[in-house]
Amino acid sequence: MQPISSPDDASDSTKTVNGMLVEAEHFAVGFQQRDVLAMGSDELRELCLKASTVTLTFTLNELYTTSIPKTTKLLLDLTSFVEKGCVLLVVDSPGSYSTLALNKSKEMDEDRARQQPGDVDGGKKQRAIEKDGKKYPMQWLLDHTLLEAASTSPGVEGKQWEKLRSADSRWFRLREELRYPIALEDMRMQIHIYRRL
């Protein structure tokens, strides 16, 4: 990890600002491009080993859109595999971009038919929220899975996650004086932070 280079004629304050925030030996990032909904439990468990933070940035709504049962299973598996104290950070688009229609669809029925006995997918609770054509915010599905379904899975006692912070719509605005080589724009997002108990 290298600090951002500053021009030779840059001021001392600019050089300081461009310095590293965290020393390389204290920060490790891993990246793999994989289909997380198609991963087996052992593969996901291996990815989660020793993770102190798991981030889902602008992907959870897409995962739910692809398959609500598979995404629910992913979150419940994540609950089983991460260590206590692990933080889950979810950042996604706000408002109508993150609203999902829950209804009985052919895909949902096919997903259930393929499930193995003993698979944890939210089961009865998932079926209970499939009301014909009703729309639910992604945040509601996320809270339902982590704060309710994860606590009632077989062999589990008590709450599994605590919600540390939540904002349905938050603006990230660039400071007027900030200059960057490419154009950057303000953006609106939702943010949810949970800690594994």
Dist CA 42 CA 127 (whole Å): 26
Dist CA 181 CA 197 (whole Å): 42
Residues whose CB falls within 8 Å of the CB of residue 68, separated by 6 or more in sequence, listed in order: 100, 102, 108, 126, 141
Q: What is the pLDDT of residue 130?
A: 45
Least Cα distance to 35 among 74, 9, 6, 2 occurs for 74
Least Cα distance to 141 among 153, 150, 132 occurs for 150
Q: What is the pLDDT of residue 136?
A: 82
Instruction: From first to last of the 197 residues of the chain, give the pLDDT tens digit.
Output: 455 555 666 677 776 666 677 787 887 777 788 899 999 999 999 988 889 999 999 999 999 989 999 999 999 999 999 999 999 999 999 876 677 776 545 444 444 444 444 444 444 444 444 445 678 889 999 999 999 999 988 878 889 999 999 999 888 888 888 777 788 888 899 999 999 99
Q: What is the pLDDT of residue 60?
A: 94
- A 10 A CB-CB count for 168 gives 13
Task: Name the pTM for this structure.
Answer: 0.71
Dist CA 172 CA 160 (whole Å): 30
Residues whose CB falls within 8 Å of the CB of residue 134, separated by 6 or more in sequence, listed in order: 101, 102, 103
